[in-house]
Every structure is written in structure tokens, then in C-alpha cells.
Amino acid sequence: MRVPRWQNWWRRVSIDGVNRPTIRDIAKAAGISPGAASFALNDRDGVSEETRAKVKRIADEMGWTRNVAAVALSARQARAVGLVIARSEESFTGERFFMQFIAGVERILSARSRNLVLRFATSVEEEVDTYRQWWAEHRVDGVILTDPRDDDPRPTLLADLQLPGVVVGAQSQSTLPTLRVNDGAAMERLVDHFADLGHRRLAHVSGSPDLLHTQRRREAFEKRCEERGVVALPPSSTDFSEESGRAATWALISSQEPPTGIIFDNEVLVFGGVVAIVEASLSIPDQVAIATFEDTPMCRIVRPQITAMVRDPAELGRHAAEALLDAIDGRPVSGRTEPTMELIVRGSTDPEA
């Protein structure tokens, strides 16, 4: 009888002294993600019965046993949820989205006598270490993940820790419940708006290129520009700070073939862009039109007022908190797609608005 390759591998690992299999080991042997393996072992929806049976069989053959300490801890709730924001302080304090999002989360948690544990991190690695610390200290019962990215280590870690979580952001392949935001559709609306006004050279000032929402917006930007016969200038990535928005805008408007329109990923970047445009003594929107993905009162106070995509971050926060509390309480949680943002046209793109 042929011995499965994973069994030989597991015997070698055991010989080296690592004799307690983890969910990650089982997932590797089964050829699936750790999150899917966790779903199968915990009899949760999201995997087929065939996969569930296969995973449980491999777990039995490996001698896997449930982490009794983890189960005991999970039965004693901390009555708190965690949120780590891996952004610079400058970006966070100026960005309305997170302030409103946290307010929405807090509204649901307060109504259910739960607390929010908030932490800032300078990197994904620091964010991951924070989750490990919270789990070890039993500080939180679950976490909300924002800014999904390429090769995101966080869902796998939560599966290993058996710590409930929800993902908020661009569509991803995560096994965790996801509140999906259709960034592509919003970008298409913006490009159509500029194209309808006669623009033929557009630029996109974005955040970090490893973030999925940046990628989805960029993909939609280039595709829609091609469909509308508009030149899409090369990406201008930033760290979401006002200064990086100013620098990216200055580079664009001082080039030999500058854009006639610029789309910014948030209000912090767009105000940095306004500074650069004013410094260059250019007129908005006659010489360069601008729009942003995030609306704020400041967008309506400045002159000309700034065209923006509008959504309700507080509502998104409420939905995230409700989904996470359901997951913590063991209720089935399915992902949902949030409504597409609404375009509000103002004077920064259309002088007649």
C-alpha cells in the first residue's frame, strides 16, 4: 500500500521532536488553506463535506487533538474586540474614514456591553505580533481586519489561534467573513465623469500598492481609461500622508505631459494635491481637475468645492461589529457586499456644479 507523501513528511517532523500537529500542518497535508482546515475541524460552513471528511481523516491520522487550553480560554470571554490600524499617525488623524468607522464599531459594541481595544502599528508584522499578544493574554474575543493585502498573513494566523475575525475592504479570497467594498465600480464612475467632461489624460494618486483596494482601483482605472479612450498615466503611489500627496501631485503637474485630471485615494492626499497645485499657480478645474474617493466637510468648505465619492464609514463599522459579534457567539456569518459609493460632483471638476 502506497503511503501518502504527507505521512512521510509528518514522520520526519516528529522525529525532529515536533510531535504536536497544528491546523497549519493539517492544511498543508490536505492541500488547502489553514482557514479552510479550521472550518472543517470546527464543523463550520464554508467547506464541502468531502473536504471536511478528508481534513478530519488526516487530523486523526496525524494524532491531532484540540487545544484544550485554547478551548478553555474561548469559553471565558474577554467581552472586548480588537482593531489594529497599520497606518502612520499623520495619515490616521487626518483621514475621516477610520474615525467614522471606529464610531460605528463603538455604537454596536456599547449597545452590547463590549469594549474596543484599539492599537496602532507601523507594519503588518507588528500588527500580527499584536494579535498573538492579545490571544496569549486573552485580551479580546475577536478582531476586525482592515486593509486586506497581497499574501496577507493575518487570516491564517487567526485560523491557527482559533480567534474569530472579519475582514473589511476590497474583495479577497479570505476564508473569514468579509464585508466587501466594490472599489472598482466606484473608480469606473470617477473615470466616466472625467471622460464625459472631455478629459483625455488622467492620473491616479493612490496609497500603498500592496493593498488590495489600491490594486482594485488601479485595475479599474486603467481598464476604464482604455475603454473611454483616455490616457492613464503611470501609478503614483504614496503612504497616505498629505506630504506624499503634495509630492506626487507636484511630480505630475510639472511633467512634460501633465494630466488634465487627477483622482486621489482619500481626502488627505487630495489636500496635499491642492497645496501643490496652488504652489504651481494652476487653476482648479480649468488647468487641472481633481476628485477624491473620500468626502469630508473640508471638501465642501474649500473653493472650489471638491468632487468626491461618498459613503458612510460609520455604517460599515456597524456592519463589521455585528458580523464579528455573531462569529464570536458561534452564529453563522456570511459575507456581504456594501453599496457602491455615490459620486457627488462639485466645482473641482465641473465649474457649473
Tell me the pLDDT tens digit for each residue of 109-126. 999 889 999 998 888 889
| pLDDT at residue 247 tops 90 | yes
Higher pLDDT, 67 or 248: 248
Alpha-carbon dihedral of residues 78, 79, 80, 81, nearest 10 degrees? 100
Same fold, 5-65 and 79-181+313-340: no
What band does 44 get if pLDDT is binned at 50, 70 and 90?
Answer: low
Domain boundaries, the chain: 5-65, 79-181+313-340, 183-310
| Cell of residue 266, nine digits | 482619500
Instruction: Output the pTM of the full model.
Output: 0.74
CATH numeric code, 5-65? 1.10.260.40
Please give the CATH topology (third level) of the domain spanning 79-181+313-340: Rossmann fold (3.40.50)
| Cell of residue 81, nine digits | 474586540
Q: Please, what CATH class does the domain formed by 183-310 belong to?
A: alpha beta
